[in-house]
Every structure is written in structure tokens, then in C-alpha cells.
């Protein structure tokens, strides 16, 4: 390996890591607020890419039916809960949030499919279509068992992934797709050919990570999310509803998944089940960040991308083994540091 090859591999690794950063941040966001390891996160990213590809070919994506069905179910669940609580005055708001708002983008995609749409319009429709998926799944699946153990929540999340994967096969078929590149510009930097698509992926990751930081630091809703993540009981005492912050966390995470799907669709062939592997690699980055630290998760995700890129050159048949093998030393280090801290507290 010479310096040029190493530079190319590093650029590919950083571009892949930028995708994992967005998904990893979504994992940490949902887990910190709701204690749910949202395994279907990658499926939402894959559904975004597949929906975008369907709109490019002029076909109606099956995601429309999924969103409509989830909206009806979520509305029914919420209506039953409000009727039991005799909170009839909140029914109109529930119908607006869980039925009307999710069905608006679904209806827009339904009528726009088959028309000649520009790329920005296709991307916008795909993003707004998948945006309600995670909050609706939260209302239907996770909120009724919100007080369950983390292990039970994880088991349900894994089962939900397999259900979505099966629906993806039914909606989109077994064939892989790749969308048109967002840009075809090419630059020469220090004798290396740099694809503008790669720069766009890295730039989008930096921008949205920065916006997420500003949201948490300088907005009231962002601070409410942070408060719920730190202490759910304390958040309740000061008037913050964990259910509301949980929905907000799922909504933001769904947006990150959608953006990831749009960015990865032109550079990787996406299948109905591709989201699981993408999400699992991003999860390694989240584990490096201990599922609580956003900066460490971002660094861990970039490390995963670099490790995947270089291992594909040296050990292409074992690159997945190398990436997931990174979990072993990380978990060992986390467990040893946890034991040390507990011993120090006992001594004090």
C-alpha cells in the first residue's frame, strides 16, 4: 500500500463514517431518552433510499401503505388511551398528530408518483414520507411497554426489525437499487481525484450534527430532551412529559435516518434488508460512545468507517469480522472502567 491508496481508503472510510455518525447519533438520542435500542433505525434509512428510488422510476413506494396503516393504528391506540382516561378534549389533537399529519405526506407521494419530479422534490417527498415512521412505531409498540426492562425493549425492537424487513421485501422486492448521484462534480486535490458526492456526504453529516448540538444547547425543547435523558423522574417533577420528549426523540432520529438513506442511496446498492447491517455498524460507534456521549459516538462512527475501509483492502473477506470484533476490546474496557468506578465509590 502506498500513500495514494491509503489516502483514497481514508476518504472512503470518512465518507462511510459520516453516514454512521448520523445513524449512531440517532441510536444514542433514542436510547438516552427512552431506554430503547431502536434496532429498526437502519430499516428507516433503507426505506428512505428505496422510496426515493421508486419515485425516480415513477412507481409508487410501498412505504405509503406502511405509513397509512401505522397512522390508523397509532390513532386508535391513542384514542383508546384518552377515552379510558376520560380526556375527551385531547382527542382532536391526537387525530391531528397521529392521523392527519402522517397522512399528508403519504397522500402527496401517492398522487405525485408517476409524475416527472425534480430531484429536490423527490428527496423532500421521501424524507417527509418516512419522518412519521419512528414516532408512530413508538406509539404503537414501545409506549405501552415503556416501563419494561431494557432487555425486553431490545427483544421487541429486534422483532420489530424482522417485521419491517419482511414488509420491505413485500413492498420493494428482492432487487437492489441505487439512485442517481446528488452531484457528479469531481475535484483534484493534491493529485487525488475527489468525488463531490463524498464531500456532500461528509458536509451533510457535519452540518446536521452541528444543528443537533445547537438544538440541544439553545432551544427549550432540546433542553427538555437532555433533562429527560439525565433524570426521567426529575423531568416529570418540573413538568416535562417523558411521552412527549420520547416522541420528539423518535421524530429527530427518524429525520437523521432519512437523511442517511438519501446520502447513502447513490453510493451503495440498497436492498430491502440492507438497513440492518448499516445500523449495526453505526451501533458499534454508539457503543464506543457508551450510548450516552454524542461526541464519542461521532468519533467512534468515523473509526468504524475507517476500519471498514482499510480492512476491505487488506482482508476483504473478513471486513465485517474486523469491524464487529472492535466491540470486544471496547466492551472489555467499559466493563473494567465500570468496576473500577464502583470500587472507588465503595472505598469512599
Rounded average pLDDT over 7-31: 85
Q: Which residues pair with 177 in a beta bridge?
A: 270
Least confident of 52-56, 228-232, 297-301: 228-232
Note the pLDDT of residue 68.
93
What's the pLDDT tens digit per position in 150-177? 889 889 999 999 999 999 998 888 888 8
Note the pLDDT of residue 24.
87
* Helix/strand/coil for 177: strand
Note the pLDDT of residue 344.
39
What is the number of residues in the chain?
A: 348
Q: What angle do CA 134, 42, 328 make, to 5 degrees?
A: 125
> pLDDT band for position 341 (50/70/90)?
very low
Question: Buried (b) or exposed (e) across 252-267, using 16+ Cβ within 10 A?
Answer: bbbbbbbbbbbbbbbb
Is the Cβ–Cβ distance between 284 and 329 less than 8 Å? no
Q: Is 162 exposed, middle or buried (0-12, 13-18, 19+ CB in 10 A)?
A: middle
Note the pLDDT of residue 345.
39
Is the Cβ–Cβ distance between 15 and 201 less than 8 Å? yes
Note the pLDDT of residue 348.
40
Share of the chain above pLDDT 70, in %: 92
> pLDDT band for position 343 (50/70/90)?
very low
pLDDT top residue among 166 and 218: 166
Note the pLDDT of residue 190.
65
Note the pLDDT of residue 27.
87
Whether 338 shows a pLDDT value over 70: the answer reads no
All three cell numbers of 102, joined, read 402522517
Of 94, 123, 129, nearest in space to 247 by CA: 94
Q: Is 109 exposed, middle or buried (0-12, 13-18, 19+ CB in 10 A)?
A: buried
What's the pLDDT tens digit per position in 260-282? 999 888 888 888 888 888 888 88
Of 196, 268, 311, nearest in space to 20 by CA: 268
Amino acid at each position: 500500500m502506498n500513500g495514494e491508496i491509503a489516502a483514497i481508503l481514508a476518504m472512503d472510510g470518512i465518507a462511510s463514517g459520516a453516514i454512521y455518525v448520523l445513524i449512531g447519533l440517532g441510536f444514542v438520542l433514542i436510547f438516552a431518552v427512552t431506554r430503547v435500542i431502536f434496532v429498526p433505525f437502519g430499516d428507516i434509512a433503507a426505506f428512505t433510499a428505496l422510496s426515493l428510488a421508486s419515485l425516480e422510476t415513477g412507481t409508487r413506494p410501498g412505504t405509503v401503505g406502511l405509513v397509512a396503516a401505522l397512522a390508523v393504528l397509532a390513532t386508535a391506540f391513542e384514542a383508546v388511551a384518552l377515552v379510558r382516561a376520560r380526556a375527551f378534549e385531547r382527542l382532536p389533537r391526537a387525530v391531528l398528530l397521529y392521523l392527519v399529519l402522517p397522512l399528508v405526506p403519504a397522500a402527496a407521494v401517492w398522487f405525485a408518483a408517476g409524475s416527472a419530479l425534480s430531484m429536490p422534490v423527490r428527496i423532500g417527498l421521501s424524507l417527509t414520507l418516512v419522518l412519521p415512521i419512528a414516532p408512530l412505531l413508538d406509539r404503537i409498540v414501545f409506549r405501552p411497554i415503556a416501563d419494561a426492562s431494557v432487555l425486553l425493549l431490545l427483544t421487541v425492537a429486534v422483532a420489530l426489525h424482522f417485521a419491517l424487513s419482511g414488509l420491505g421485501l413485500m413492498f420493494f422486492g428482492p432487487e437492489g437499487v441505487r439512485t442517481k448521484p446528488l452531484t457528479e462534480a469531481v475535484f483534484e486535490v493534491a493529485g487525488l481525484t475527489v468525488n463531490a458526492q463524498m464531500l456532500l456526504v461528509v458536509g451533510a453529516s457535519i452540518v446536521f450534527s452541528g444543528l443537533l448540538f445547537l438544538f440541544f444547547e439553545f432551544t427549550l425543547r432540546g433542553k427538555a430532551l437532555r433533562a429527560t435523558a439525565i433524570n426521567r423522574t426529575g423531568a416529570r417533577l418540573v413538568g416535562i412529559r417523558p411521552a412527549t420528549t420520547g416522541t420528539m426523540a423518535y421524530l429527530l432520529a427518524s429525520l437523521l435516518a432519512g437523511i442517511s438513506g438519501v446520502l447513502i442511496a447513490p453510493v451503495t446498492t440498497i436492498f430491502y434488508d440492507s438497513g440492518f447491517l448499516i445500523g449495526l455498524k453505526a451501533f458499534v460507534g454508539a457503543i464506543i460512545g457508551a450510548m450516552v456521549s454524542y461526541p464519542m459516538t461521532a468519533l467512534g462512527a468515523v473509526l468504524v468507517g475507517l476500519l471498514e475501509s482499510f480492512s476491505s483492502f487488506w482482508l476483504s473477506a473478513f471486513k465485517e469480522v474486523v469491524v464487529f470484533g472492535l466491540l470486544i476490546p471496547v466492551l472489555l474496557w467499559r466493563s473494567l472502567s465500570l468496576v473500577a468506578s464502583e470500587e472507588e465509590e465503595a472505598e469512599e
